Amino acid sequence: MNSGSDVAANLAAAEAGLREARAQGAHFAVLPENFALMADSKESRLRHAETDDGGPIQDAIARVSRALSLWVVAGTIALRSCDPARVRSACLVFNDRGERVARYDKIHLFDVDLGPSERYAESDAFEAGDTAVTVATPWGRLGLAICYDLRFPELFRALLDAGAEIVAVPAAFTVPTGAAHWEVLVRARAIENSSYVVASAQSGRHDNGRATYGHSLIVDPWGTVLAERGEGPGIVTARIDQASVAAVRRRLPSVMHRRL
C-alpha cells in the first residue's frame, strides 16, 4: 500500500486490495504496517488511536474479513497505552468470521539515525510491547512481527519455540535500509526457522514526506521467494503448503540441532 493521512481513503484502499486478493482465491491476507494511517504528526496519530475494545478501524477490518470469509492480519494500528502521550503499534489478527483472535504490540522500536535527513525515533511516539505472540490458523500456527523486529532473530526463535510455521511481518521499511537489507532479512528469517514469512510492505512517497521501499515478499521455508510485488500498491499471492514446513524441517533439521 501507499497509505497517507486520510484514514477513510486508506481503509477504502485496504478493502479494495483484500477484495482483489479474495477474488484471486486468497483465504489469508496480510496488510502492511500503518495501513490505516501513515501519520503526518504525533497529534494525528493520537487523535486516531483506538482502544483495545475497538474502534472504527478495527470495525472496518472485522466487517471486511467477515464479508469475505477472509483471515486478515491487520498490519498495525495505533492503540492507546497507559501513557497518554504515546500509543502501542499493534498488529491485530481477524479470523474469517470477523473476530479478533490475536494482538501483538511491536517490541523493537525504530530509533535510528540514517543521516541528516533521515532520523527516526519511534520511542518518542510509541510504547514498546514485551510479549511474543502466535495464534492457531487453519494453515498452521502464525507468529507475528513488525518491520524493525525483522532484525532481531531472537524474536523469531521465540516464535519458533511457540510453534510458529508462518510469520507475518507488516512493514514500512525505509528506502535505503530496504534496498540494502529487506530481502536478505526476510529470507534469512525464513531459512533460519524453516518457516514461511509473509512480509507486506508500504511503498512509495507518503503524505508525511517519508519514502518506503515496497517489495512485499512471500518466502517459503527453504528461503525461496514465491512472490514479490516490487514497487507501488498492489497484491501478491502464493500457496502455503503446511506439509512443506514439516518436510524442510525433516530434510534439514537445523531447528532441532540448536545447542543454545
- Whole-number pLDDT of residue 193: 98
**Does 82 participate in catalysis according to the annotation?**
no
Which one of 33, 50, 122, 127 is the catalytic residue?
33
Which one of 91, 127, 147, 165 is the catalytic residue?
147
Nearest to 88 by CA among 148, 130, 31, 151: 130
Burial of 250 (0-12, 13-18, 19+ CB in 10 A): exposed
- Whole-number pLDDT of residue 119: 80
- Is the CB of residue 129 less than 8 Å from the CB of residue 88? yes
**Does 228 participate in catalysis according to the annotation?**
no
**Does 33 participate in catalysis according to the annotation?**
yes
How far is C-alpha 135 from the chain's CA centre? 14
Ranges of residues in the chain whose predicted pLDDT is under 50: none
DSSP string, 58-118: HHHHHHHHHHHT-EEEEEEEEEE-SSTT-EEEEEEEE-TTS-EEEEEE--S--EEEEETTE
Type of residue found at 154: E
Neighbours of 237 (CB within 10 A): 14
- Is the CB of residue 206 less than 8 Å from the CB of residue 175? no
Sequence-separated (6 or more) residues with CB below 8 Å from residue 88: 78, 79, 80, 81, 105, 106, 126, 127, 129
- Whole-number pLDDT of residue 114: 78
CATH class of 7-255: alpha beta
Neighbours of 243 (CB within 10 A): 8
Which one of 50, 91, 106, 165 is the catalytic residue?
106
- Whole-number pLDDT of residue 131: 98
Q: Give CA–CA dist 110/108, Å, rounded.
A: 7
- Is the CB of residue 167 less than 8 Å from the CB of residue 138? no
- Whole-number pLDDT of residue 134: 98
Question: Where in the chain are the domains?
Answer: 7-255
- Is the CB of residue 87 less than 8 Å from the CB of residue 55? no
Q: Give CA–CA dist 249/256, Å, rounded.
A: 8
- Whole-number pLDDT of residue 118: 73
Nearest to 134 by CA among 76, 73, 80: 73
Q: Give CA–CA dist 72/54, Å, rounded.
A: 16
The 8-class DSSP code of residue 33 comes to T
- Whole-number pLDDT of residue 130: 97
